[in-house]
Amino acid sequence: MSEHFRVHGGARLVGEVDVVGAKNSVLKLMAAALLAEGTTRLTNCPEILDVPLMADVLRGLGCTVDIDRDVVTITTPTELSHRADFASMGKLRASVCVLGPLVGRLRKAVVALPGGDAIGSRPLDMHQNGLRLLGAHSEIEHGCVVAEAEGLHGAQIWLDFPSVGATENILMAAVLADGTTVIDNAAREPEIVDVCTMLQQMGAKIEGAGTSTLTVHGVDSLRPTEHRVIGDRIVGATWAMAAAMTRGDVRVHGVDPHHLDLVLEKLRTAGAEVSLFQDGFRVVMAGRPHSVDFVTLPYPGFATDLQPFAVALAAVSDGVSMITENVFEARFRFIEEMVRLGADARTDGHHAVIRGVDRLSSAPVWASDIRAGAGLVLAGLCADGVTEVWDVFHIDRGYPCFVENLRKLGADVERVSAPPER
């Protein structure tokens, strides 16, 4: 059934919102459960579409997975399959994170190339090179990554770019390799730190989590554990940007505010008053935001996942902003939809120049990925009239209770289920 959101423009978002566990953590933590035979329990999991999709990937490998609201329980058998087929893998990008654990535990994996957001080219060369350096043979065959190793040994690995997925896959293979692995130019995202914390609880020996050099001393086996997923900084930042765009006043709980240091500093520059508390922050924007430039970079830089919100904020700010996208080139497709809403924006390569307008103008628009979808909803709040946002299944993949939370903050937004076509 086709669904869309009807967004009535004009609301100022005011109130409190709770953020739960991070999508980009929980999916990797679920994959990490493959490394230990027995029952792993994850709490504070977000109730989003990607969690049951990842559960299907694990079930296909032989695990039992139970999802009870925010608790995901995974029982990993002794006899694990090394084959993850396209039927389950095709629906989400993070499914590729089973590659490292399977190679670590079984020394072999056949993993269908994953699906996920259409945000630009997403090769796996760094994942494969890392596994090769650990001693695995790895090729792409018939739409699958095929990896096989006689034995895995520690290695020195330099990544060309601090890729989140490559760091995670190499890390999750290296924890069960013989000897010491050093991953240099590793990704430093808080979600990587979360994976390291859980692996350490499982008995892995890892140094340098949160830095660009990860040192992993391989161990013979790992044990299952219980772990609380860290709060979703991208969802937290979405609410921060929403408060700024709608000239609102929003308190966000459930996220480490220091994971958003740069975002919150940008919002201060745009004119917001920001205060921090232990489990969150408050953003108050009294007038029209001032224009601010944004440059996307790996953490601790400004996250590419937040680029659509930067564009949407710039579109209603006072002045001209330049947004530079350095991570996923196709993410500027979002700007075409913003132009439908009356944004004054043009792109040149990986730069976008946006001249803020006082008010956007409602239109039907289409979400192309999770964050672009959420960005269009927020832009719709700053538009005259009623904006229809289509393809909202993207938003459901990453934002639990998005419409409910918006309504709680005073927005007039509804989910409309169209009748099935005859």
In the range 313-342, which residues lie near ligand UD1 by CB under 6 A?
Answer: 327-328
217 - beta bridge partners? 180, 205
Q: Does 54 bind ligand UD1 (CB under 6 A)?
A: no
Residue 188 marked as a ligand binder: no
Q: Does 93 bind ligand UD1 (CB under 6 A)?
A: yes
Q: Which strands, in side-by-side order, build the sheet including 351-355?
A: 294-295, 320-324, 351-355, 344-348
At its nearest, how many Å lie between ligand UD1 and the CB of residue 117?
7
Residue 396 marked as a ligand binder: no
For residue 357, the one-letter residue type is V
At its nearest, how many Å lie between ligand UD1 and the CB of residue 94?
4
Q: Does 238 bind ligand UD1 (CB under 6 A)?
A: no
Interaxial angle between packed helices 23-32 and 233-245, expressed in degrees from 0 to 180 and rounded to the nearest 10: 170
Question: What are 316's two structure tokens?
Answer: 């209603």
- Options 31-39, 116-124, 148-156, 310-318: segment touching ligand UD1 (CB under 6 A): 116-124
Beta-carbon neighbour count of residue 123 at 10 Å?
A: 10
> Catalytic residue among 18, 50, 70, 117, which?
117
Residue 182 marked as a ligand binder: no
Residue closer to ligand UD1 by CB (options 145, 252) is 145
At its nearest, how many Å lie between ligand UD1 and the CB of residue 381?
23
- Options 121-129, 201-209, 280-288, 407-415: segment touching ligand UD1 (CB under 6 A): 121-129
Q: Binding ligand UD1 by CB under 6 A: which of 13, 124, 195, 312?
A: 124
At its nearest, how many Å lie between ligand UD1 and the CB of residue 162?
7
120 neighbors 114 (Cβ within 8 angstroms): no
Q: Binding ligand UD1 by CB under 6 A: which of 40, 44, 238, 304?
A: 304
How many CA atoms does the CB half-sphere of 49 hold within 13 Å? 15
Number of residues near ligand UD1 (by CB under 6 A): 21
Distance CA 200, CA 233 (A): 22
Residue closer to ligand UD1 by CB (options 137, 205) is 137
Residue 405 marked as a ligand binder: no
Distance CA 75, CA 9 (A): 46
Q: Does 138 bind ligand UD1 (CB under 6 A)?
A: no
Distance CA 278, CA 316 (A): 31
Distance CA 362, CA 359 (A): 10
Interaxial angle between packed helices 164-174 and 99-106, expressed in degrees from 0 to 180 and rounded to the nearest 10: 10
Q: Render 89-103 in DSSP notation, one character per residue.
A: HTT-GGGGGGHHHHH
Q: Binding ligand UD1 by CB under 6 A: which of 126, 242, 338, 392?
A: 126
Q: Binding ligand UD1 by CB under 6 A: which of 9, 24, 70, 284?
A: 24
At its nearest, how many Å lie between ligand UD1 and the CB of residue 2?
25
Q: Does 305 bind ligand UD1 (CB under 6 A)?
A: yes
At its nearest, how many Å lie between ligand UD1 and the CB of residue 185?
11
Task: Give 239: exposed, middle or buried? Use CB within 10 Å, 0-12, 13-18, 19+.
Answer: buried
Whether 256 is catalytic: no
156 neighbors 116 (Cβ within 8 angstroms): no
CA-based nearest residue to 265, from 319, 317, 301: 301
DSSP H helix total and E strand total for the chain: 14, 26
Residue closer to ligand UD1 by CB (options 169, 321) is 169
Q: Binding ligand UD1 by CB under 6 A: which of 145, 166, 237, 244?
A: 166
Q: Which strands, in side-by-side order, build the sheet including 71-76?
A: 64-68, 71-76, 38-43, 226-228
Give binding residues for phosphoenolpyruvate as ranges: 23-24
What are the residues binding ligand UD1 (CB under 6 A)?
A: 24, 27, 93-94, 121-127, 161, 163-166, 303-305, 327-328
Residues with catalytic roles:
117
